[in-house]
A and B are shown apart, each in its own frame.
Chain A
Amino acid sequence: MKAIRVQHTGGPEVMELAEMPTPQPKATEALVKVAVAGVNSIDSQFRDGRLRTPLPFIPGQEGAGVVTAIGSQAKTVKVGDRVAWSGTLGSYAEYVAAAEAHLVPVPQSVNDEQAAAAMMHGLTAHYLVHDAHKLKPGETALIHAAAGGVGLMVVQLAHAIGARVIGTVSSDEKGELAREAGADAVIVFTKQDFEPEVKRLTGGKGVNVVYDGVGKATFEKNLNVMRPRGMLVLFGMSSGPVPPVDPAKLSDKGSLYMARTTLAHFTATREELIARTSALFEMIAQGRLNVRIAKKYPLADAAQAHRDMEARKMAGKLLLIP
């Protein structure tokens, strides 16, 4: 099969298209023919070695496709099922062997592109607004990088709940996308300091929650735009890691809460994974959650996809088509 291979870690150029053996599913795995593979920032972290895995390896954590073979003990899927997954390294390929526990069934009303995009980004957005901080109607949320893959989903889900959404974006064009997704106010952070602007927009009160996948660049100011007992949910650090935080700062700034979350802890059980994906797929099928595909690339152009992702020009989901 054709796959993207990384033999040593580094920049996007270390990803090369290669002919590799088609994997054999183990007893509780299924072999899936990949229709689309999702591109995520975690893929960059494996590629450049910030996250470690034995070399050589095939990058990619997520995708959607059709089951073509199952292991001897696989019970929840059968050949011919349409499935989607995340958390399975090796997805930048024509075929991937995935643990059946990671595979979720995709309903007919949801296409492969939507399904792949709903996995890491959709699941992340879902746990952020429903669990990390359970948003209630009338609350105000600040979402950074609101036109990014997770951002556009968070904005839509938060808007659907009835919360007021303030989004930060890097350009007017992205601001328009965030507004279309349901953002009530947009701050173009390249033109305006978000701290005074959020204070102004909230009449000095601050927001109930900040959803932040940016990290270092936004952290300190986040603490100044939350109302007392507000929650900062840090779910990524695209600008770099946040320096260690003195807990006393949380009380000084208003008995604040802080969490550093990862998706795995919010899909720890099969029930939870299925409940979240079902909710997302239903919203997609009903047209209440719009999946924006920023760009589709042939598998061979994985390096370009990473370059585009890292340049932060893209709004929405990047997909590879094997």
Chain B
Amino acid sequence: METVELPLPQPKPNEALVKLAAAGVNFIDVYHREGRYKVPLPFVLGQEGAGVVTAVGAEVRSIKTGDHVGWAALLGAYAEYDAVPADRLVPIPAGVTDQQAAAAMLQGMTAHYLCHDTYALKRGDTGLVHAAAGGVGLLLTQMAHNIGARVIATVSTEEKSKLARAAGADEIIFYTQSDFEAETKRLTGGKGVDVVYDSVGKTTFEKGLNILRPRGMMVLFGGTSGPVPPLDLIVLSQKGSLFVTRPTLGHYTITRDELMSRAGAVFGMIAAGKLKLRIEHIYPLAQAQQAHRDLEGRKTTGKLLLIP
């Protein structure tokens, strides 16, 4: 990653040119950079940003110059300007800053679909959240807590446990010190949890199936420890007629309506003070390399932003 001078993008008829106030740093950026996810070279990194519209294409009606907007899941946000399809831009309401918007688009909408749609948590449900002090984890814990669910959180350190507790976790498991399978069984009186939200993958998946109640749901939404090996489906019936899904944000923001309502719900929670964003570090755009090093070092417990 290097900072260079590039031509200003020109918005196509359906696009808007946005001057970025902040770009979010995400693990998917690392995968793009490494080539694990393929993108034609050369390219501008970044999947998430927020800023002000400075020009619109001829066909754009939904937004206008001067609007504050956020977006996610489109490449090109590590830049001063980005041309973005207007139907992927979400207006940022009063009460939410551009930096907050940039920090919440991917992880906030991910947490939202996980607990409202993939498995719609209800008051009284019990959910296990792995990596609860991570970016999505802290947001998911807050949302699950606000719904009235009981949250069992796995974390690696004392410092992270404090963050998870502050986010509303009812129980904390230090997975580095105790076996989360045995501990979750104990905490649920042997019953198991209704849902497991797992972004860790390889190292946690198998045990996750053992702590689900009959007819419980395994939501695998990432694989930071590596991919989960192929699954013998008979295991699902043997362990209690279990459900498994592997969701991605794109399928939960397919229509403009869904994108708007999901982003709107997240912004609404932020503006109302019900969802606290933890912006841990803000880097100048030129320090994108350092931001990636910090993210990959797994020392971070909150959102990293780049400011052009």
Contacts and interface: CB of A to CB of B under 8 A. Distances in A.
Interface of A: 131-132, 228-229, 234, 241-251, 254-262, 265-266, 268
Interface of B: 117-118, 205, 214-215, 220, 227-237, 240-248, 250-252, 254
B72 to A, nearest CB: 16
A225 B235 CA distance: 24
Contacts of A241: 233-234
Nearest to B214: A265
A35 B187 CA distance: 47
Contact of A257 (B237, B241, B245, B250): B245
B208 to A, nearest CB: 12
Contact of A265 (B215, B232, B250): B215
Nearest to B217: A257
B183 to A, nearest CB: 24
Nearest to A266: B241
Contact of A262 (B118, B220, B241): B241
Most chain A beta-carbon neighbours within 10 Å: one of B205, B228, B241 = B241
A164 to B, nearest CB: 21
Contacts, number: 85
Given A229-B251, A265-B214, A256 B245 contact: yes
Interface residues of chain A: helix, strand, loop or mixed (majority): mixed
Nearest to B119: A257
Contacts of A228: 251, 254
B243 A259 contact: yes
Contacts of B236: 258-260
A234 B229 CA distance: 20
A110 B237 CA distance: 32
Contact of A266 (B215, B220, B242, B251): B215
Given A242-B233, A247-B231, A248-B227, A261 B251 contact: no
Contacts of B233: 234, 241-242, 244-245, 258, 260
Nearest to A244: B230
Most chain B beta-carbon neighbours within 10 Å: one of A251, A258, A260 = A260
Contacts of B250: 255
Contact of A258 (B232, B245, B251): B245
Contacts of A259: 236, 241-244
The 3 closest A-B pairs by CB, nearest first: A244-B230, A255-B251, A265-B241
Contacts of B220: 247
B240 A265 contact: yes
B214 A258 contact: no
B259 to A, nearest CB: 14
Contacts of A254: 251
Contacts of B214: 265, 268
Nearest to A229: B251
A84 B229 CA distance: 43
Contacts of B215: 131, 265-266
A313 B109 CA distance: 50
Nearest to A127: B241
Most chain B beta-carbon neighbours within 10 Å: one of A131, A246, A248, A255 = A255
A255 B240 contact: no
A279 to B, nearest CB: 18
8 contacts: A245-B233, A246-B230, A247-B228, A255-B252, A256-B245, A257-B244, A265-B241, A266-B215
B257 to A, nearest CB: 14
B246 A260 contact: no
B230 A250 contact: no
A248 B246 contact: yes
Contacts of B117: 229
A282 B250 CA distance: 44
Given A247-B244, A251-B247, A255-B252, A262 B237 contact: yes
